[in-house]
Amino acid sequence: MQGLESFFEVGLNHYLILSTLLFACGLAGVLLRRNVIVIMMSIELMLNGVNLSFVAFSKYMAMLEGQIMVFFVMTIAAAEAAVGLALAVAIFKRFREVNIRYFEQLKG
């Protein structure tokens, strides 16, 4: 039963599958939802899916670069959230709703 054991033993593939699922969930949220806040949360989910794969690779290949990259991603994510939320607040103030279609008003 060597195969079955190795199947249940947590390895790199499991992390990668989980990371892909997280990323796909996030992508689906970005594409399908209309609420700006939810879209931003979905982006966060995608970023974290990627972060997970970075960390997993870092661990299994015994290299630190992946973890350093994760810090960068988290920093950028925080900045992005700050800007995005500011926009969302501005939109909400004007339209009393945070639907993504109001961003079309920004077109020239």
Partner 1 sequence: MDAQFFLIVLLFSPLIGFLINGFRYRHHSANVAGIIATAAAGLSFLAALALVFQLVNFAADSQAGTSAVHRRLAVDLFQWLDVGLLKVSASFVIDPISAIMILVVTGVGSLIHLFSIGYMHHDAGAAKYFAYLNLFLFNMLVLVTGESLPVMFVGWEGVGLCSYLLIGFWFTDEQKAAAGMKAFITNRIGDAAFVLGMFILFFAIGSLSFQTLNEGARRFADEAPLGWLHPITLATLFLFIGATGKSAQIPLYVWLPDAMAGPTPVSALIHAATMVTAGVYMIVRLNALFMMAPLTMMIIAIVGALTAVMAASIGLTQWDIKKVLAYSTVSQLGYMFLACGVGAFSAAMFHLMTHAFFKALMFLGSGSVIHAMHEEQDIRKMGGLRKALPITHATFVLGWLAIIGIPPFAGFFSKDEILWKTFSSPLGHPLLWVVGAAGAMMTAFYMTRLVALTFWGESRVPKGVHPHESPPTMTIPLGVLGVLSVVGGWLGIPHLIGSAMPFHTDNILESFLAHSIVPLPGGESSDSSLEVGLMLTSVVLASAMAGLAFLFYAKKSTAPARIAEALGGFYRLVYNKYFVDEAYFRALINPLMRASQKLWYYVDVSLIDRTTYVLSDTIRGGGSFVRSLQSGNLQQYALYIGLGVVTVLSIILVRG
Q: In terms of CB distance, is 32 or 68 closer to partner 1?
A: 32
Shortest distance, CB of residue 107 to partner 1, whole angstroms?
Answer: 6
Nearer to partner 1, 68 or 76 (CB): 76
What is the smallest separation between the CB atom of 31 and partner 1, expressed in angstroms? 5
- CB count within 10 Å of CB 46 equals 19
Residue with tokens 């949360």: 41
Q: Which residues contact 50 (CB under 8 A, 6 or more apart)?
A: 19, 23, 73
The site for partner 1 (CB under 8 A) is made up of 27, 30-32, 100, 103-104, 107
If the CB atoms of residues 2 and 105 are measured against partner 1, the closer one turns out to be: 105
Min. distance of Cβ 64 from partner 1 in angstroms?
Answer: 27
What are the backbone angles phi and psi of residue 35, rounded to the nearest 5°? -80, 125
Instruction: State how far Cα 5 lies from the chain centre.
Output: 31
